[in-house]
């Protein structure tokens, strides 16, 4: 009997599950994610499943980790301070391709150098300018390097990496190591986001490994990748970008294992995001464009997933426009007021009571701020340092923390850096007030709801005079936004085009009238034509209403709340390697190895040499990630053209996949 431990660290909860021989759930448990020290939440969840099962920790043969932390960090704009070395490109490319927005004020160096399409040097690398830049930014947590045509010849990326490591000792993320495809700006975005996530994922893996050791579990640790495959913890530490959407990918693998569904929309609601994918023939599709999270399109192979900033802990925003008014949710995650009141009951209730006694509602009512422990404050402005010192180790009402509106920008920056947390009204508070959940302080939740309900609409009337009515308004908005998100995914994945963007189709008047079963001179009906599998701890509370709204079957599997953790241990180790053969001139076939281009006189000889190289790389990576019983799959995409009656070789893209089961401790 092999016992497998799956752990999923989400924005709100850390889940753990024990499986026996990949066939039976032995125990499952949850613990609050503790961002200041992730090991606390991980230990709480693992300890709970060990206690439930009565299993000796030494019997655990493998542990695997999936996480939404990388996804959530990108959605919320968080992560470490990074520097971008952009070789052979122009300054305007930073704006054209969204890199400046992704940098969020962090430094970038446009450096002379780069190669051409054939892999020849376009310009010499400007080492002197790189030296000067690095000496000015020794406090950067990680660097990203991307060079023009770096996948055709990575020499300049490798030279820049070596110098950065020599002078700063900081981790370096090189674009050619993350993707073998062309599109320099997109590779630069991938490398930049990877660098931003390195410290965060290293902390997570270190916490998990330390916790396993302290609990007496001596088993290999695997991490789920964005395509649902498993990689070793060591590999995930250097390539954290590959773990974006790993939580959602694991949930789809888990959904299939739990339900046996072949065709369904899988929707996983967490504290921060709702992640939706289509299951076809029992398998999720891989996004051919690369994983997209929030506004960022990367070159990471991941499940074709739509991630929305909508979860149980999404911030509730008051909508003042229009006579009716209302609320909208997300995309930012906040700490629910009901949860904060468990940590600081006197401060929270005292502030809420004082705000309720005030005759005039304030925009900061029901909102609090606290610092996150254990993080360095390097690189902060004077105003940011003053604000974080004022907050100190306390929980403060937001109106008390901010002395003027100028400080709001400083607060935004501290939130993005993960140095402070905001607490505010969320759907989780609404669920507590309605009696659907009983884990945190429902009284504090009702007070926060009452404060929001006092806000005046455009007609001058209160939004909701009673806390319960306000709570139902929040839950109804979650149902509406979830329904729209599901419809967007369905329209985007339809085989037939409807001629409009999926987000417009989901909100189209005919679609909305159809969902409402319009009966006039025209009869209109609409709905989803496949079931929705609802996953996540809160799915059972929210998704029955979603099924009614979309007129479809809703499947809520047992253990759906820990589907991510289940998916983490039933996946396979899979490594894909891709390379290119080009023809710079007739009779020359160029293989673009990492060590540099190499020419051959015969196309088949060139492709065979590349295939041998890719097989060796893929097999080595799979073995390093702990795979056994490895199977290899080869693919060739050869492009040719007809010229004067002759077939001319243009390009060949070769792919090798090595796949096997993770090795378990004996």
- Mind listing the pLDDT tens digit for each residue in 507-533? 999 999 999 999 999 999 999 999 999
- Which helix (H) or strand (E) segment is 67 a member of? strand 60-67
Which pLDDT tens digit goes with each residue over 283-297? 877 777 777 766 778
* pLDDT value for 80: 78
pLDDT tier for residue 539 given thresholds of 50, 70 and 90:
very high
Average pLDDT, the chain: 89
Query: Is the Cβ–Cβ distance between 340 and 432 less than 8 Å?
Result: no
Q: To 10 degrees, the CA torsion angle through 424, 428, 433, 437?
A: -150
In terms of Cβ atoms closer than 10 Å to its own Cβ (0-12, 13-18, 19+), residue 298 is: buried
Distances (CA, A) of 220 to 156, 215, 227, 572, 664: 36, 14, 20, 14, 7
Which pLDDT tens digit goes with each residue over 304-344? 888 888 999 999 999 987 767 799 998 989 999 999 999 99
If one compares 665 and 95, the residue with the highest pLDDT of the two is 95
CA 649 to chain centre: 40
Does residue 465 register a pLDDT over 80?
yes
Query: Is the Cβ–Cβ distance between 65 and 51 less than 8 Å?
Result: no
This prediction's pTM = 0.74
Nearest 5°: CA angle at 409, between 329 and 367? 45
Does residue 76 register a pLDDT over 70?
no
In terms of Cβ atoms closer than 10 Å to its own Cβ (0-12, 13-18, 19+), residue 201 is: buried
Tell which phi-psi region holds residue 551, choosing left (phi > 0), alpha (psi between -120 and 50) or beta. Answer: left
- Which helix (H) or strand (E) segment is 549 a member of? helix 539-550
- Which helix (H) or strand (E) segment is 620 a member of? helix 603-624
pLDDT tier for residue 138 given thresholds of 50, 70 and 90:
confident
Query: Is the Cβ–Cβ distance between 666 and 219 less than 8 Å?
Result: no
28-51 burial by CB neighbour count: b if 16+ within 10 A, else e?
A: bbbbbbbbeebbbbbbbbbbbbbe
Which pLDDT tens digit goes with each residue over 2-47? 899 999 887 778 899 999 877 789 999 999 888 777 788 899 999 9
Does residue 270 register a pLDDT over 70?
yes
**Residue 660, number of CB atoms within 10 A of its CB:** 21
Going by the DSSP 8-state scheme, the letter that residue 303 receives in this structure is: B
């Amino acid at each position: 009997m092999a016992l497998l431990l799956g752990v999923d660290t989400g924005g709100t909860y850390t889940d753990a599950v024990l499986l026996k021989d990949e066939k039976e759930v032995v125990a499952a448990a949850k613990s609050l994610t503790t961002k200041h020290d992730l090991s606390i939440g991980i230990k709480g969840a693992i300890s709970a499943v060990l206690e439930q099962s009565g299993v000796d920790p030494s019997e655990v043969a493998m542990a695997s980790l999936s996480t939404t932390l990388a996804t959530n960090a990108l959605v919320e704009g968080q992560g470490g301070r990074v520097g971008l070395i952009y070789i052979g490109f122009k300054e305007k490319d930073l704006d054209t391709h969204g890199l400046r927005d992704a940098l969020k004020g962090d430094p970038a160096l446009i450096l002379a150098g780069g190669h051409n399409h054939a892999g020849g040097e376009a310009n010499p690398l400007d080492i002197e300018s790189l030296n000067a830049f690095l000496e000015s930014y020794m406090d950067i947590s990680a660097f990203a390097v991307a060079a023009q045509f770096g996948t055709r010849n990575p020499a300049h990326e490798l030279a820049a990496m070596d110098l950065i490591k020599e002078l700063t000792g900081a981790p370096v993320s090189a674009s050619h190591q993350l993707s073998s495809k062309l599109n320099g700006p997109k590779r630069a975005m991938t490398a930049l986001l990877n660098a931003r996530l390195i410290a965060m994922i290293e902390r997570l893996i270190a916490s998990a490994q330390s916790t396993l050791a302290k609990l007496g579990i001596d088993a290999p640790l695997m991490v789920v990748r964005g395509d649902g495959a498993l990689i070793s913890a060591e590999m995930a530490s250097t390539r954290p970008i590959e773990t974006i959407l790993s939580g959602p990918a694991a949930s789809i693998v888990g959904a299939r294992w739990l339900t046996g569904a072949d065709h369904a929309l899988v929707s996983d609601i967490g504290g921060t995001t709702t992640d939706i994918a289509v299951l076809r023939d029992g398998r999720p599709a891989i996004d051919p464009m690369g994983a997209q999270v929030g506004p960022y399109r990367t070159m990471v192979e991941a499940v074709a997933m739509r991630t929305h900033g909508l979860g149980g802990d999404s911030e509730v925003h008051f909508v003042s426009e229009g006579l009716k008014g209302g609320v909208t949710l997300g995309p930012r995650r906040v700490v629910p007021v009901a949860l904060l009141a468990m940590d600081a009951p006197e401060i929270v209730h005292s502030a809420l009571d004082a705000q309720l006694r005030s005759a005039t509602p304030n925009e900061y009512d029901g909102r609090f701020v606290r610092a996150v422990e254990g993080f360095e404050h390097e690189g902060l402005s004077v105003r940011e340092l003053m604000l974080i010192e004022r907050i100190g180790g306390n929980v403060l009402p937001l109106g008390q923390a901010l002395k003027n509106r100028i400080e709001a920008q400083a607060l935004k920056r501290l939130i993005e850096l993960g140095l402070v947390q905001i607490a505010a009204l969320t759907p989780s508070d609404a669920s507590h007030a309605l009696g659907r959940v009983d884990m945190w302080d429902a009284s504090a939740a009702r007070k926060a709801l009452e404060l929001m309900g006092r806000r005046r609409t455009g007609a001058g009337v209160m939004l909701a005079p009673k806390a319960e009515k306000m709570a139902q308004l929040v839950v109804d908005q979650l149902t509406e936004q979830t329904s729209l998100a599901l419809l967007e995914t369905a329209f985007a994945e339809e085989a037939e085009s409807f001629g409009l963007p999926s987000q417009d189709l989901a909100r189209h008047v005919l679609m909305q009238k159809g969902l409402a079963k319009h009966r006039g001179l025209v009869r209109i009906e609409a709905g989803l034509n496949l079931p929705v599998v609802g996953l996540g701890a809160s799915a059972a509370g929210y998704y029955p209403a979603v099924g009614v709204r979309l007129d479809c079957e809703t499947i809520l599997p047992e253990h759906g709340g820990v589907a991510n953790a289940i998916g983490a241990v039933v996946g396979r180790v899979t490594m894909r390697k891709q390379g290119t053969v080009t023809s710079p001139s007739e009779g020359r076939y160029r293989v673009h190895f990492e060590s540099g281009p190499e020419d051959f006189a015969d196309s088949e000889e060139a492709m065979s040499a590349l295939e041998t190289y890719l097989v060796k790389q893929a097999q080595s990576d799979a073995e390093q990630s702990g795979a056994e019983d490895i199977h290899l799959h080869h693919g060739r995409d050869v492009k040719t053209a007809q010229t004067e009656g002759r077939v001319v070789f243009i390009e060949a893209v070769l792919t090798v996949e090595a796949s096997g089961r993770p090795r378990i401790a004996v």
